[in-house]
Amino acid sequence: MSDRKTYPATKKPRKRQALRPEDIDNVGQAILTLAQELWAVKDRQAVTEAVLKARGIDISEDVDTYAPDAELDAKLTADRQALVSKIVMDLTGEYGPLE
């Protein structure tokens, strides 16, 4: 876990504007998006660890302590940014062009 603080000690966190009642559908969609993404990851991780353990390879501790190299770190960063963008689009209701 990183010792880095979310905000520098000399700065105050940004305050978020309150959600309006008409935003509730967007908030609901964002929560569903997060739940779907989280479950997919948790499901795949549990299955992967179970399959490996059944084959005599227990990777649980290795996964907990693994430090990615620069290439994997860049991929993880890009994937994280894509997920955040999708959630923000769900919250705002502003979607980009279909891919």
Query: Has residue 43 been placed in a domain?
Result: yes
Confidence band of 1 (pLDDT split at 50, 70, 90): very low
Enter the DSSP assignment of 6. Answer: S
Residue scoring higher pLDDT (34 or 93): 34
Confidence band of 78 (pLDDT split at 50, 70, 90): very high
Query: Has residue 98 been placed in a domain?
Result: no
Q: Distance between CA 86 and CA 81 in Å, rounded?
A: 9
Confidence band of 95 (pLDDT split at 50, 70, 90): low
Number of structural domains found in the chain = 1
Q: Is the pLDDT of residue 98 over 70?
A: no
Query: Has residue 3 been placed in a domain?
Result: no
Q: Is the pLDDT of residue 71 over 70?
A: yes
Q: What is the separation, in whole angstroms, between the first and last Cα of the chain? A: 35
Range(s) of the domain holding residue 54:
23-92
Query: Has residue 72 been placed in a domain?
Result: yes
SS3 content of the chain, % helix, strand, coil (to 5): 65, 0, 35
Query: Has residue 8 been placed in a domain?
Result: no
Query: Has residue 65 been placed in a domain?
Result: yes
